[in-house]
Chains A and B, each alone.
Chain A
Amino acid sequence: MLRTAAPYLRFFLILWIVVTVVFISLRLAPGDPAVLLLGPTAGRQDVAENLADIRERYGLDRPMIVQYGIYLTDIVTGDLGNSNRSDRPVIGLIATAAPVTINLILLSILVAIPIAVFLGMTAARYRNSPYDITVRGVATLAMAIPSFWIGLLFLNFFAISTIWLPASGYAPLSEDPLGFLRHMLLPVTTLAIYLVGTLTRFVYTETADTLEQDYITVSRAMGIRPRSLLFRFAARNSLTPMIIVVGVEIGTLIGGAVIVEEVFGLPGLGRLLLNAVLGRDYPLVQGCVLAITVAVILLNLLAEFIYRRLNPQAAE
């Protein structure tokens, strides 16, 4: 009966476990969690009362179960605490940085999908030809390139050696569309390389399978032109599962974005997170990880929902 109450219960349980894992991770640390939460100033005499405040605020001198209760209540009410560096609410800092990262990831997906679909489908069409072997080899390499490394190569070639593109920084789309594109070109290319690799491999496998099915053989016998056979008849079946794959890859892309933003100096979530961890701003690290992970879970749910809509047979 648990299975029938299924998706929603399951979804909330997953969120609950994720939130709990984050709670536990702070308590894993050796030493006083209050010191970790307060960050670099914790050792100073003049701020000793801040430590007491933090203990009081999160109930750190009370039983673990009480701490857990306070923590859950905070999260449910949308309070992720304050940054120990700037004392600003974590949720506000996240909201400011999020658009940059969202744009970066969205643009990478938009760039990568058409390229991957074209390469994957044509490679499957001309299977085992030199073209196919090249495409698959390049796709595997594209998956294996460390993104920050290729990013730095681009940066040094296009932005520093030649002065075509800005080396770092960001311009909001609404204020300076051209500047936005110039700042985004290299980071998006860098992130898209990985995605093109993964998606091409996926599209290839799916299309190669589809092309062997009976309906394709029948359509071919009926004299449908090879091009429409590939891009209209086969595409419908081999491309819908890609929605799920893109959903799953969003987690990996966020991880990639963290490092790509650092390389190109984009003021997004990744930079926020890395500066937080290097500056020992634990509340900010915790808030970022929680917020992004929850967003990823929601996006995966959305991908699955769209997929079910497009492909009713897939409903279990």
Chain B
Amino acid sequence: MSFLPRSPSAIFLSTVGLLAVVAAVFPQWLTPYDPTGIDVTALLAAPSWRHPFGTDELGADVLARVIYGVRLELAIALGSVVLAGVVAIPCGLLAGYLGGWVDWVLTLVADSILSFPIVLFAVLIVASLGASVATLIGVLGFVFVPRIFRLVRGQTQVIRATGFVRAARAMGVRTPTILVRHILPNILGPLLVIVPQLMAIAVLIEAGLSFVGLGVQPPQISWGSLLLVSKNYYIAAAWYPLAVGTVTTLAAAALVFGGDLAAAAVNPSRRRV
């Protein structure tokens, strides 16, 4: 069972990750409440044993809404990273391995996409396609491509120069086989580092865009749309925005921290924050 996490922080983060997956797939296991349930007897009720995060303007349990929000949150964060990986990993492998003009052109395109500030690019695409979860995943996937591409390309260059790859080449192993069988397995570690980092960015961008009305639209439940809905209650029911914002912050911080841990595990000689 060597794949099980051992250090306390790794165990903690794995538990949080597992909880997030459960919340996304079986939210009803974690809360008895219906996230859209209306209860006129408890509008904006303060936190209590029954409602640890209080209730919202329609009397729905805020904790339940936060838990049910995980599903979209995870769909956006994972969906965009997977989408980006599907494009970026083959391109990065080719650019790093072949070099020459293929590398030059692909890197140029990647750097161009990278120079768009993410939020601005998202606003531009939302202006032409309209705000929706699909647009959000597409936009984030698109801007993540160059970030994964650069990593894969750099790692491929390093591994291409190692003895075992040169030996394989000398033995006449075909390029696709070298890329998939010899190089790809060796860059999975660094890829594991960037995935939580990008997911953290996705969570924060989702929150920001939904907050200004350009991301997930209420009544769909995501943390961003909850932050949007709760913005009128900072004074009357401060726990409501406080709870949602704190959860968002902690989730993003956990992802960043997860990336740090992965980085330390992949490359023990180089400390990271």
A interface, CB within 8 angstroms of B: 2-3, 10, 13-14, 17-18, 21-22, 25-26, 28-30, 36, 136, 139-141, 143-150, 152-153, 155-156, 160-161, 201, 204-205, 208-209, 251-252, 254-256, 258-259, 262, 273-274, 276-278, 280, 282, 285-286, 288-289, 292-293, 296-297, 300
Contacts and interface: CB of A to CB of B under 8 A. Distances in A.
Interface in B86-143: 101, 104, 108-109, 111-113, 115-121, 123-129
Contacts, number: 161
Closest 3 CB pairs of A and B: A255-B119, A144-B252, A17-B112
Interface string B259-273: 010000000001111
B33 interface: no
B115 A156 contact: no
Chain B interface residue number, banded:
35 or more
B273 A139 contact: yes
Chain B at the A interface: SS class: helix
Given A14-B112, A25-B124, A251-B116, 5 more contacts: A13-B112, A146-B227, A205-B271, A297-B115, A300-B115
B211 A259 contact: yes
A144 B104 contact: no
B188 to A, nearest CB: 23
Contact of B227 (A144, A149, A208, A286): A149
Interface of B: 101, 104, 108-109, 111-113, 115-121, 123-129, 200, 204-205, 207-208, 211-214, 227, 231, 234-235, 238, 241-242, 245, 248-253, 255-257, 260, 270-273
B123 A204 contact: no
A22 B242 CA distance: 38
Contacts of B227: 146, 148-149
A296 B115 contact: yes
A308 to B, nearest CB: 17
B120 A277 contact: no
Given A14-B108, A17-B108, A146-B245, A259 B119 contact: yes
Nearest to A273: B123
